[in-house]
Amino acid sequence: MLSRSWLLSAPRIRPDGGCMEDIRLPADVLTSVMSRAATGPRAACIAATVSPAFRSAADSDTIWSRFLPADLAPLAYPSPPPRSKKELFLRLSGTHVLLEDGLTSAWLHRETGAKCYMVAARAMHIVWGGSPQYWRWIPRQDSRFPECAELLAVCWLDFSCPIESRMLSENTRYAAYLVFKMDDDCYGLDSPLQVASIHIGQDEISSHPVRLQNNIGDEQNEGAEEGAAPRLPMERPDGWMELEIGEWDNHGGEDKQGCARVRETTYGGNWKKGLILQGVEIRPKN
């Protein structure tokens, strides 16, 4: 018979909601059962509220190591060292880690544990981005990266961000978001409509009309381009704006190159100014 120090107790609930005698399970058995039942971080946290016994099992490294990616090395730079796998997960899902290239910010999705990252504007392909009369590079304290791209004047928009499927979690549906701000004196970004698209390998996965600057009424938005209402930007909790470019399924075992692109497809001759690009964020689609 196992000693009490080797046993965990969990209350058994009667059909009428009352408690019966404790069920005593070996700690390793309860942990093993929970490792199969806890399908994600949220489930583990809920299980931890059942009883002290469940909390001990749900907080174990056995459980939380399942929510950490196997290729954790690029992310594993927390200081001081975490005391447990759960603490490591909470750190990596609660803050952004700037990778060694200085152009990629990475973290874990709090709900699922899936890998997320943001690519800096410096790593994007921006048409005329290297011409100082059209774009300039500016530091911003509210950015994750040392500098952002500021639009000075162009009559044609076209920029794209690389997507590397190997940097993402397998069998997960992702979405890419353009993260940007507008100067107070911005203009020309409402017309003509832009087109946002996702390309994986040689395939165009999605393509939608978008409007970076919404200076027109809802009726015009709803009637734009043969009835296709353009996607509009939304404000983020960090004070930046984001515009969904598109979504796709990242299947297991694939190592494909892709891109998220925003461009004008109709030349209108409208000059534009005041767009500030921080980068493109790639995260699981909620």
With 0-12 / 13-18 / 19 or more C-beta atoms within 10 angstroms meaning exposed / middle / buried, residue 201 is: exposed
Over residues 61-70, the mean pLDDT reads 85
Reported as a pLDDT band with limits 50, 70 and 90, residue 38 is low
**What mean pLDDT do residues 172-191 have?**
95
Is 241's pLDDT higher than 50? Answer: yes
More confident residue, 250 or 18: 250
234 has pLDDT over 50: yes
For residues 31-45, give the mean pLDDT.
69
Distance CA 180, CA 150 (A): 10
**pLDDT score at 5:** 37
Task: Give tens-digit pLDDT for 200-211.
Answer: 999 999 999 999
* Identity of the amino acid at 90: L
**Any idea which of 8-12, 25-29, 158-162 has the lowest mean pLDDT?**
8-12
How much is the pLDDT for 123?
Answer: 97
pLDDT of residue 237: 95
pTM confidence score: 0.83
Distance from the Cα of residue 282 to its chain's centroid: 5
Q: Mean pLDDT of all residues in the chain?
A: 84
Q: What is the pLDDT of residue 8?
A: 41
Given a cut of 60, whether residue 101 has pLDDT beyond it is yes
141 pLDDT above the threshold of 90: yes
Q: What is the pLDDT at residue 23?
A: 54
- What are the tokens at 211? 């409007």
